[in-house]
Every structure is written in structure tokens, then in C-alpha cells.
Structure 1
């Protein structure tokens, strides 16, 4: 029996990177997963991968920057399942520029995707968790929320907002059986890695050199493992906390 046997999970940002890795690992651990993203082609391909390993998954196309899309997502989940056990929020965008070059459009994009969407999805699914008397929400933040990182100013600020929001909402709903925690990834090898790093072996090595523990970039599965723990009953006494997964970046700088 898997660690998430028969649990229902909603995973945002599921069509790539961390969200895809979490969706697949959740299925391997026995969960039924609703995969959420904007790219229908990638979403349907993910469902095929899930079915290929004998799991149950579905895809809901959703732009989390639009409130009406989140309402449609909630309705689609309610039509398929009578409750949700896990909400894993990983949708995100990164604008990597010097501070004085970041503009209103950059700010709005990051705020709407990396913060406001988390607020709305939590508001959408918490009432059902309260009715069921249980639930786990896992929000993906970043070490940028606790550790200064050049050129990631709006990104880091919104990730810090996510960690603060999560702790405060965790306090409100703890006695109703809802656990809310954050995972703070460090340098993870995903599509969000800035192009100047992807295209430069020197820049890649420079990033790897910041990792004091393993001498490599993290992989999406490095985030999926703690996501399984936080979604499982093993973490039933854990709420309002941040789990840093960065290979030691924050302690080596």
C-alpha cells in the first residue's frame, strides 16, 4: 500500500518541472491526481504517463491568474470527487532582471501567478477540507523568500508572502484538521532556470558551486519526496512550517 493510498490530490503547475514530478510520485504512492495547468497538450500527455504506470489522473486546463478559471477548476473537481485531501500549489513564473529594470508588467505577472493564485486556490478548497475534518495544503515557495538572491526581487517578495500567508492560515485552521506547510526549493533543474544559466556551462557550474551538500543542482524529485511526506498522514503533527530543500545553499553563503 502506498503512503497516499486513496487520497485525492489537486496539483497546480502540473504540466512541467516540480508539479509534474509531484503528480507522478503522488500516483505511485496511491493518490488520485487532478493535474492543473494552462497547456492542454502537456496536461493530456501527463495523464497518459499516469495511466501508463497504472494510476488515476485527470487534467483541468486552468489559468490561475483568472478567478473564473479557479471557480471552474473547483467545479470540475467537485464533479469528479466528493473531497480533496491534498492541494499542492506549484504554479509559478520567474522574471530575472536587475531591480531597476523590473517593471509593472513583471510585478503584476509574478503577483498574480505566484501569490494571488495561491490565495484563491486555498480559499476554493479549504471549505471542503474543513467539512471533511482533514486536509493538507503544500505551497511551493523558494529560498528566495528567506535568502537574498540577485535579480529575483519581485519573485522573492511574493514567495515570502506565500510563506507568511501559509503560516497565518495554518494557525486559523489547525484545529479543524487542516495542515498548511511550505516547501522552499533551492536551485532545482527545471524549465524556470534562467536562460543565461542554461546556456552557459560556466554559469551552471557557478550555481552548482553554491550547493555545499551534493555538488549538483536539485532535481524535481528532490521536491516530490518531501511533498509526499507532507501530503501523507506521517506529517499529521506538522503545520505552519517551511521545509528548505536546497542542498545547503542557505547555510553555505
Structure 2
């Protein structure tokens, strides 16, 4: 049985990685999916592929650092479907570097995409969810929010902020039947994996051996399974939570 039949889901960052995996799985589970990303060519291609399999999918070009395009995403979703049941904030960026080497520009860019973007999408869609007395917001955080990680300083700070904000906003909107939860992925095989790791099997294996106690990196579908649960009515009593999916990294003593 399709677990998201009848639900309208908006997924940002849907043109690659975890966002793409979630959008595809949501469609397989019966949701009507609105894919949002600034990569128009790739996003439209994925939407077309999903639609070719018989699902209802459409693409909207969105730059989450541009509030006008976020509002356009909201307006097009409501015009097309009349409601929104699920919002997934998956758009994100990682900037690595020594702490003293990172710049103000790096900080502004990471925070604009990883924190301010989700704030703007939530402010756009939460009033509709509150009015209909139902909805699920899923924010993609990271184990960098809770696990020390050299190099990803601004990334980790942004992901800690969105995890905390998720819990706070969940309290405010619980009386309206709207749930907010965060997923904290560990190392996941997506384009955010640095090229020097991805393109060198020995380095990749070292990352796995030294971090992932379950023996492999997570894949986008591993995160998507959790998102389906949080989007579905099966998680009706789950709000303000932080779900860690990390192949055991945070219990590793390596």
C-alpha cells in the first residue's frame, strides 16, 4: 500500500543527492511531488522521469537564498494542488576549510542556504498547514550538528541551528496538528562527498573503515525511508525529534 497517497509534498534540493532520493521515493509511495531546485535542467529531468512512471510530479526553479522564488514555489504549489501536506528542506551546501581560513563570504553562503532558506520555506508553507490543521515538515540537519568534525565548521553550525529551530517551531505548531522533525544523516554517498574522497577508492574505504561501523556509507534511499515515515500518518505522534541515520558513526570509538 502506498503510504503517502493523497499527500502533496514539496522537496527542496531535489535535483541531486538526498533531496532527489526523497522526491523519487515519495512519488513511489503515492505523493504528488513538487521538486524545487536551482538546477533547472537536472530538476526538470528528474520530474519528467518520475512523471513517466505514472506519478504526479512537477518542477519549480527555486533558489532558496532568493525569497521571491521561495514565494513563487509556494504560490505554484497551492495553485496546482490547493494544499501542501509535506515540506522537506533538503537544499544544502558544505564548505570545508581550516577555521582560520574560512571567510565571511563562506559563512554568509552556508547560512543563507542551510538556515535562512529553510526558515523562508517554513514561513511560506506553515500558515497553510496550520489552516488545514495538518502537515509534516522535515528538515535535513546532519550529525555535524552533534558530532565534532574538523573542517565543516560553518556547515555544522548551520545544521545545529536548523535542528534546534525545528524543535522550537514544533512546539508552536503542535496545537495546529503540524509536526516538525529533523533528520541527521551521517556520511552519505551524495555530491556533497568531496571529490578527493569520492574519486579515490582507498580514501573512500578509509572513511568507511574509520567512521561507518555498519560497513558502508549511507545512500540517499536510506535517508528517504526515514523521510517517508516522518511524512506519513504512521508518525502521527512524532514531533520535535532528531532522527540520526549515520551507519553508526556516532557510536564509533575509532
The alignment's TM-score, normalised by the length of structure 2, stands at 0.97
Aligned-residue offset at 1:212: 4.4
Aligned-residue offset at 1:199: 2.7
How far apart are the structure 1 equivalents of 2:71 and 2:55?
26
How far apart are the structure 1 equivalents of 2:212 and 2:118?
31
| Structure 1 alignment gaps of length 5 or more | none
Q: Please give the root-mean-square deviation of Cα atoms over the aligned residues, in Å.
A: 0.9
Contact kept? 1:11, 1:33, Cα under 8 Å: yes
Count of aligned residue pairs for this structure pair: 253
How far apart are the structure 2 equivalents of 1:106 and 1:197?
21
Contact kept? 2:38, 2:62, Cα under 8 Å: yes
Residue 93 of structure 2: SS of its match in structure 1?
coil
Contact kept? 1:211, 1:246, Cα under 8 Å: no
How far apart are the structure 1 equivalents of 2:131 and 2:150?
43
| Structure 2 alignment gaps of length 5 or more | none
How far apart are the structure 1 equivalents of 2:230 and 2:213?
23
Contact kept? 2:89, 2:118, Cα under 8 Å: yes
Per the alignment, residue 146 of structure 1 pairs with 146
How far apart are the structure 2 equivalents of 1:211 and 1:29?
32
Per the alignment, residue 86 of structure 1 pairs with 86
1:17-53 deviation digits (Å, cap 9, x = unpaired): 1011100100000000000000111111111211122
Aligned-residue offset at 1:195: 1.9
Aligned-residue offset at 1:89: 0.6
Within the alignment, does 1:101 sit opposite 2:105 as a pair? no
The alignment's TM-score, normalised by the length of structure 1, stands at 0.98
Aligned residue runs from structure 1 range 37-56, under 5 A:
37-56=37-56
1:163-192 deviation digits (Å, cap 9, x = unpaired): 000000001111110100000000000001
Contact kept? 1:9, 1:87, Cα under 8 Å: yes
Per the alignment, residue 188 of structure 1 pairs with 188
Residue 101 of structure 1: SS of its match in structure 2?
coil
Aligned-residue offset at 1:12: 0.2
Contact kept? 1:96, 1:194, Cα under 8 Å: no
Residue 149 of structure 1: SS of its match in structure 2?
coil
Contact kept? 1:34, 1:58, Cα under 8 Å: yes
Residue 150 of structure 1: SS of its match in structure 2?
coil
